[in-house]
Amino acid sequence: MTPSPTPLSTALPKYTRIAGTGSLLPERQVSNAELAIELAGRGVETSDDWIVERTGIRTRHFVAPGTVASDLAVGAARSAIEAAGCQAQDIDLIIVATSTPDMVFPSTACIVQQKLGIVGCPAFDLQAVCSGFVYALTVADAMIRSGSASRALVIGAEVFSRILDFNDRGTCVLFGDGAGAVVLAASDTPGLLATDLHADGRHVGLLCVPGSVAGGQVLGDPFVRMDGQGVFKLAVGVLEQAARAVLAKAGRTEADIDWLIPHQANIRIMQSTARKLKLGMDKVIVTVADHGNTSAASIPLALDVAVRSGRVNRGDTLLLEGVGGGFTWGAVLLDY
């Protein structure tokens, strides 16, 4: 009797881990003082003290003319791929979280794929504004665990300077440009432990760019519009809820968190979240002073800064969380 052939293993990956991180900021750095002088020429009054007191931001980076989101994304991606010890050709999934894509279509992810010389793998954009990177991590984790990918490139990249109204003091001082990236890899050891995502479209008007393109013209308003107080009140509540949700899903507590890496929008929101989780600010990665609010890029930017500065180390438990227009919010708990 002929023995049956040994079946091939169909076991799916148990976990997803961050294999490498990377980031890129544009060369042009704009201080609060420099921005205040520029705005004064438009009749808009602000100052370094006013901005720092309300936001914690001291400087931000703006791209040069002609630089687009994919340019920043590629730089961050190359750093992450190098840190992961792999080659671009090893990537079999690309997700770019962005609200400022290069084109209406194709996706910025496909443009990144072309610039990196990768052929054939799925590539798509994800739009959840400042929560985009958390959303993208969750999607990539699910695809890796399902066996659809084994090594994913997840990027947050933004050129918000292109959609800022420099006559609006309430928004133009807040945002900057930049990109951050991670390589996620299938693993037999725990990495991403739990995720929690939400959206509430009733709050669309709190933070939006209420414009579109039709017939070769911009319809509506092409600039960022924000109800700052409304965003603050909603953010501090939902971020605590998402944090507690991922801790519960993972069977962990606040005491297990080594580092909180929140969306870098406003120091007051970060301080409030840390207090609610009974975390000292010495356990919070804060980079908002250096690059402002870079939307979907802010969490991976802060993560890469923390890793490369030696604060975040292998084995640390990280809580990543973001909140943004939509209204969207979410959190990821992971062992780095």
**Cβ pair 70, 157 in contact under 8 A:** yes
- Residues marked active site are found at 130, 263, 293
Between CA 202 and CA 225 the distance in angstroms is: 16
φ/ψ of 311, rounded to 5, equals -75, -45
Strands 93-97, 123-126: pairing kind? parallel
Residue 97 exposed, middle or buried by CB count within 10 Å (0-12, 13-18, 19+): buried
141's tokens: 């984790």
39's tokens: 């705005």
Between CA 166 and CA 178 the distance in angstroms is: 19
